[in-house]
Amino acid sequence: MQKHRWAVFAAAFLVAGVAVAAAFAGPNRSTAGKTFYFIPKDTLNPYEVIADRGGKIALTQLGDTQVVQSGTEDTAAAQQPAVQAAIQARAAGIVIAGNDPDALCPALKQAQAAGTHVIAFDSDVSCRELFINQADTETIGRSQVKLLAKLMGYKGEFAILSAASTATNQNAWIKYMKLELKKPAYKNMKLVKIYYGNDNPAQSRQATVAMLQAYPNLKGIESPTTVGISSAAQYLSTSKKYKKKIVLTGLGLPSQMKKYVHDGTVKQFALWNPEDLGYLAGYAISALSDGTIKGKVGETFKAGKLGTYKIVLGPDKRPQVILGPPYVFDIKNVDKFKF
Ligand code: RAM
């Protein structure tokens, strides 16, 4: 009897174990044990840190290893040593967030020639096999203008506070922002200038000060970067002159922005879950290096707890995977999010 109970228990345990292993493709898969390099825009930006953490969770579930390496400023040159390190290590794959669409391609192509797969996430590069996009690029750009316009009452001057001037994701979103602004609904709104804070808090704050001085009639700031929006919010929140007078919105981390929502500096902003983005990229690079997918439109792959994803055609006619629609945060929901 006792023996029988143990057998049942052992069988149940085994079934549960197999189920878990199947759900996450499991560390026991025959192709496990690979090393993948994650090369974020920089190693200091909290958004990038959270995204890399998602990648690590995925690769740990798969029985693979993650190395995170990059520079401390948002330039392709600062990422170059990390690409070289991946080549030296004969990494199975590189997951990169591009500070520039092309500058690293000679090195990345060298890696590919030696059998290292390359995917981009967050911000695209031209020589990758697949791009893991946080949300549809056009939707992000257009919805940012819609949000800003609503908060500004569809009138007044505004500036954009971007990240690096060469960042692929920023420039793609800004392109669609400008297209959206051509609609008659926005005829009383004017984009005065685009500032670049390079995803550096001090430079983003300086840019905020500069735009407020240069444009005394400025009514709004649109910052499609988590570093830009949080730096601008910090400055505005301590200013008697500008707090609650300047409309600020963009893409921000709820964890960084909630205090500025509660003190009235910011009403609404948007983002996706950066940890899920990195997690999805981890599963994608592993599937690519296992040969489960080749990076062709129409292929599908399993991404652990996120479910099954399909490779689709991007606006640039190249293959990409889209994480999902962004969230909009306000005072009612901002405290609920962990990232
Ligand atoms: C910053 C970076 C990143 C971007 C987010 C929204 O952290 O510029 O590339 O996707 O903001």
Task: Note the pLDDT of residue 208.
Answer: 98
Closest Cα to atom 4 of ligand 1? 225
* Global pTM value: 0.92
CB atoms within 10 A of CB 21: 15
The Å distance, Cα 52 to ligand 1 centre, comes to 13
Q: What is the pLDDT along the chain (339 residues), one digit of tens a residue?
A: 444 444 444 444 444 444 444 444 556 678 899 999 999 999 999 999 999 999 999 999 999 999 999 999 999 999 999 999 999 999 999 999 999 999 999 999 999 999 999 999 999 999 999 999 999 999 999 999 999 999 999 999 999 999 999 999 999 999 999 999 999 999 999 999 999 999 999 999 999 999 999 999 999 999 999 999 999 999 999 999 999 999 999 999 999 999 999 999 999 999 999 999 999 999 999 999 999 999 999 999 999 999 999 999 999 999 999 999 999 999 999 999 999
Q: 198: phi > 0 → left, psi -120 to 50 → alpha, else beta; which?
A: left
Task: Note the pLDDT of residue 20.
Answer: 45
**What does the alpha-carbon distance between residue 249 and residue 255 come to, in Å, rounded to a whole number?**
15
Q: Which of 75, 170, 199 for mutating ligand 1's site (highest number of atoms within 8 Å of CB)?
A: 199
Q: Which of 45, 52, 124 for mutating ligand 1's site (highest number of atoms within 8 Å of CB)?
A: 45
Closest Cα to atom 3 of ligand 1? 225
**What does the alpha-carbon distance between residue 121 and residue 128 come to, in Å, rounded to a whole number?**
10
Environment class of 336 (CB within 10 Å of its CB; exposed 0-12, middle 13-18, buried 19+):
exposed
Q: What sign results for the dihedral spanned by CA atoms 101, 102, 106, 109?
A: positive
What are the structural domains of the chain?
A: 6-134+274-329 (3.40.50.2300), 137-270 (3.40.50.2300)
Q: How far apart are the first and last CA of the chain?
A: 50
Secondary structure of residue 102 in the 3-state scheme: coil
Task: Note the pLDDT of residue 25.
Answer: 52
Residue 175 CA, chain-centre distance (Å), reads: 18
Strands 189-196 and 156-162: parallel
The Å distance, Cα 144 to ligand 1 centre, comes to 14
Residue 271 CA, closest ligand 1 atom number: 6
Task: Note the pLDDT of residue 30.
Answer: 83
What long-range pairs does 301-310 form, CB within 8 A, spacing at least 24? 302/25, 303/58, 303/279, 304/23, 304/24, 304/25, 304/58, 304/61, 304/279, 305/23, 305/24, 305/279, 306/276, 306/279, 306/280, 309/280, 309/283, 309/284
CB atoms within 10 A of CB 227: 28
Name residues contacting ligand 1 (CB within 6 A).
41, 45, 47, 122-123, 163, 169, 199, 225-227, 251
Task: Note the pLDDT of residue 28.
Answer: 64
**What does the alpha-carbon distance between residue 256 and residue 198 come to, in Å, rounded to a whole number?**
18
Task: Note the pLDDT of residue 23.
Answer: 45
Pair 252, 328: CB distance under 8 Å: no
CB atoms within 10 A of CB 114: 11
